[in-house]
C-alpha cells in the first residue's frame, strides 16, 4: 500500500509529493517511515491513496471497541513499536527486514 501527503504539514517530517510505503495501519491511521526514518502513525485523512494492496501475510488484531491494528506479522506483537522507539536492536532489525521485504513487494 502506498500513499502521498495531500498538503504540507509543519513539523511532521513528511514531504509533499513523496510516495510513502504504508508499514501498518489502524482504523484512523497509516504507519509510515517518515523522512526522519521513524515508523510513525499519521491520520489517514492527510493522504491520497496511490496503491491499496495489503500483503496477504499481514495480521489484524481486533480490539474491544471496534478498533484494529494491521501490520506485517513480524511487527504485530504487542509492544513492538515501543521496543523500536526504545532502540531495541532486535526490534530495529525486525523492522528493517520487514521494510525491505515490503519495498520489494510494492516496487517502492
pLDDT in tens, 11-59: 789 999 899 999 999 999 999 999 999 999 999 999 999 999 898 889 9
Structural domain that includes position 97: 2-106
**Model pTM?**
0.88
Tally of domains within the chain: 1
What burial letters (b/e) apply to 57-66, b meaning 16+ CB within 10 Å? ebeeeeeeee
DSSP letter, residue 105: H
pLDDT in tens, 72-81: 999 999 899 9
12 burial via Cβ count (<10 Å: 0-12, 13-18, 19+): middle
Amino acid at each position: 500500500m502506498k500513499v502521498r501527503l495531500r498538503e504540507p504539514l509543519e513539523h511532521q517530517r513528511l514531504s509533499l509529493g513523496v510516495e510513502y510505503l504504508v508499514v501498518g495501519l489502524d482504523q484512523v491511521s497509516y504507519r509510515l517511515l517518515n523522512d526522519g526514518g521513524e515508523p510513525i502513525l499519521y491520520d489517514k485523512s492527510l493522504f491520497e491513496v496511490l496503491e491499496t494492496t495489503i500483503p496477504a501475510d499481514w495480521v489484524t488484531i481486533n480490539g474491544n471497541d471496534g478498533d484494529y491494528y494491521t501490520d506485517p506479522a513480524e511487527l504485530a506483537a504487542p509492544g513492538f513499536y515501543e521496543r523500536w522507539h526504545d532502540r531495541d536492536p532486535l526490534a530495529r532489525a525486525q523492522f528493517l527486514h520487514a521494510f525491505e521485504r515490503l519495498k520489494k513487494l510494492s516496487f517502492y
